[in-house]
Structure 1
């Protein structure tokens, strides 16, 4: 069965600048596409979307060009890129027009969990997000549990835009903090134009001590809330390597889905991603 990775990060310290890595020593090194591909092929990944890595804002378009260049250099798993963006900027409309002219750009993301909580409340931010309507490009919501309320407000402000919640809403799995995360996820899932990624949640588990049982209540709640037609899978490589290899996360995913029907697995593994990102 095809397995589409909707959340791959490539980090190249020689090609691009990543200011946030100065405070993340465990990840402050190059993670090449070649390293990812070698393991991805071994565990059955057939296609991948590159997720922006919060580069220096001046290098956003350079990152897109870098990833597209990798995809053209030889046959790869790369099927497109989800671009960084700055909806709070007056330059966003022109930026959006340039990116939408390129079919390799499949969607957009503005990392919100590292920013002030009210960033997404600005009138310009909301107006620019609404510009995504009709482009066929979803917007990824990367928020912490206490910010899901803000994500709901963004989604409500742009009902004609498709949204995707990253990483199950970043639950504190290590602390077993299901509340109020559960209630917030359920509320967001009531918006039919929002989907969710079962992506890299091992990064929020208890170091090397986690088990599939630790992940299960969080993953199952997201699937139950959104339904099998609005969930997709992602690795969040290399962030997942903080607590597990790519292969281990794939194996854990298969364990979490044991007993599910073939149709349900098809939706999560590839069918929904093909529809959402028009692959």
Structure 2
């Protein structure tokens, strides 16, 4: 199965999506499963992971409804991981297509302090005990704190979104040094996603971004990388097909098995889409 491991759905409402600024006119509309389906088909992608874009349980529930309209779409939603009633929240959200959770750590006033909260640590222990994936959304400024966080939570998969949003201007080597310790942890997987919108002013070139993919391959290896479009956010800098083509060109020289990992097998493993009855195969 070929999988787009990172995209979003939404019914646009300015009050509900305050991070979509006035300059992001391309995003100020609905993006729904029927819009994504033909894009997946064009790249022969049979599955996908819909990821939260709002920090509310209502969006998670809506994503689960939308996911059921596509044959192999799973959901990474949001939950208050620091809540005292986390168990009750998990029970209420339980669904066969709910595979994990994410928090917009990058938008916290103090991301480092958020990652260090004992309430968050307690919630993470509970999530990992129940085999939920956790996606780490930080920028390059807080990769060191994300590394400490990952070291404390190694009972199930952690996923680094968008390569940790590297500083494109500083270059791939600097990012590789930043991410080295995190990438060395076998329970941490990285998404080849979000690069086009990290380029300054959305102006990117293949020669500028390709070294970051090469560095990710060197640091994580193909078995812990997965393709994600970051659609529709990617539309701020590139069309869906251009994002997919960038990844295809960067991985074209890999072996067939290595390409298969990046284009689906890693995601299938991490999100529990392999194994008997689609159960998680995590054994870490």
**TM-score, normalized by length of structure 1?**
0.89
2:33–2:67: 8 Å Cα contact kept in structure 1? no
1:163 aligns with 2:177: no
* Deviation of 1:242 (Å): 1.0
Partner of 1:20, secondary structure, is: coil
* Deviation of 1:176 (Å): 4.1
* Deviation of 1:222 (Å): 1.3
Q: 1:182 corresponds to which residue?
A: 176
* Deviation of 1:274 (Å): 0.9
Partner of 1:131, secondary structure, is: helix
Q: 1:9 corresponds to which residue?
A: 8
Structure 1 stretch 123-132 or stretch 178-187: which is displaced more? 178-187
CA distance in 2, matches of 1:68, 1:54: 14
CA distance in 1, matches of 2:141, 2:67: 37
CA distance in 1, matches of 2:115, 2:23: 25
Q: 2:226 aligns with which of 232, 236, 240?
A: 232
* Deviation of 1:140 (Å): 0.2
Q: 1:50 corresponds to which residue?
A: 50
Gaps of 5+ in 2: 274-284
How many residues in Structure 1 have an aligned counterpart in Structure 2? 270
Q: 2:102 corresponds to which residue?
A: 109
1:136–1:277: 8 Å Cα contact kept in structure 2? no
Q: Deviations over 1:20-59 (max 9, x none)?
A: 335663333322222222222122222111000124x3xx
* Deviation of 1:245 (Å): 0.4
Partner of 1:229, secondary structure, is: helix
1:168–1:219: 8 Å Cα contact kept in structure 2? no
Q: Deviations over 1:184-240 (max 9, x none)?
A: 211101111111111131111245642221111111111211112111111110111
CA distance in 1, matches of 2:107, 2:174: 20
Structure 1 stretch 126-135 or stretch 88-97: which is displaced more? 88-97
Q: 1:267 aligns with which of 261, 264, 267?
A: 261
Gaps of 5+ in 1: none
CA distance in 1, matches of 2:269, 2:176: 26
Q: Deviations over 1:131-189 (max 9, x none)?
A: 1223222100011101111111111112213200000110122x244464321211101
1:207–1:242: 8 Å Cα contact kept in structure 2? no
1:178–1:218: 8 Å Cα contact kept in structure 2? yes
Structure 1 stretch 85-94 or stretch 9-18: which is displaced more? 9-18
Give RMSD over aligned pairs.
2.1
2:173–2:215: 8 Å Cα contact kept in structure 1? no
**TM-score, normalized by length of structure 2?**
0.87
Q: 2:67 aligns with which of 68, 71, 74?
A: 71
Q: 1:241 corresponds to which residue?
A: 235
Q: 1:219 corresponds to which residue?
A: 213
Q: 2:276 corresponds to which residue?
A: none
